[in-house]
Amino acid sequence: MASNVTNKTDPRSMNSRVFIGNLNTLVVKKSDVEAIFSKYGKIVGCSVHKGFAFVQYVNERNARAAVAGEDGRMIAGQVLDINLAAEPKVNRGKAGVKRSAAEMYGSVPEHPSPSPLL
């Protein structure tokens, strides 16, 4: 079993660390992540957080193979968003997108009725 350490402060290990986003951590556990990603190489660290995880490999080659092999895979009803931790994806989808009030709260009437307090 790999340790919980995925040392984000060590620049030498950044290229061998994989970010796993959109992970259903209510269902998927650390042991599941390790089982899925161990086929790409030796895992030296694995940490699972609410909605995402990191896997630390021995080398960059293993990490890149994991990204290529698992990005877009569906696990526990969610499509995984996987990339090297050192190379975040551009335009991750809905992040940073402003939504209208109608999208957030449903339909907003064009002409609201007068306030009963006035």
Averaged pLDDT, 73-97: 79
Give residue 83's pLDDT.
96
Q: What share of the chain has pLDDT > 70, as a percent? A: 65
Instruction: Give a yes or no: residue 95 inside a domain.
Output: no
pTM: 0.69
Number of helices followed by number of strands (H, E) in the chain: 3, 6
The yes-or-no verdict on residue 37 having pLDDT over 50 is yes
Assign residue 87 a region: left if phi > 0, alpha if psi is -120 to 50, beta otherwise?
beta
- The CATH number assigned to the domain holding 81 equals 3.30.70.330
Domains contained in the chain, number: 1
Assign residue 3 a region: left if phi > 0, alpha if psi is -120 to 50, beta otherwise?
beta
Looking at per-residue pLDDT, the higher value among 62 and 11 belongs to 62
Owning domain of residue 19: 11-86
For residue 56 the two structure tokens come to 């630390």
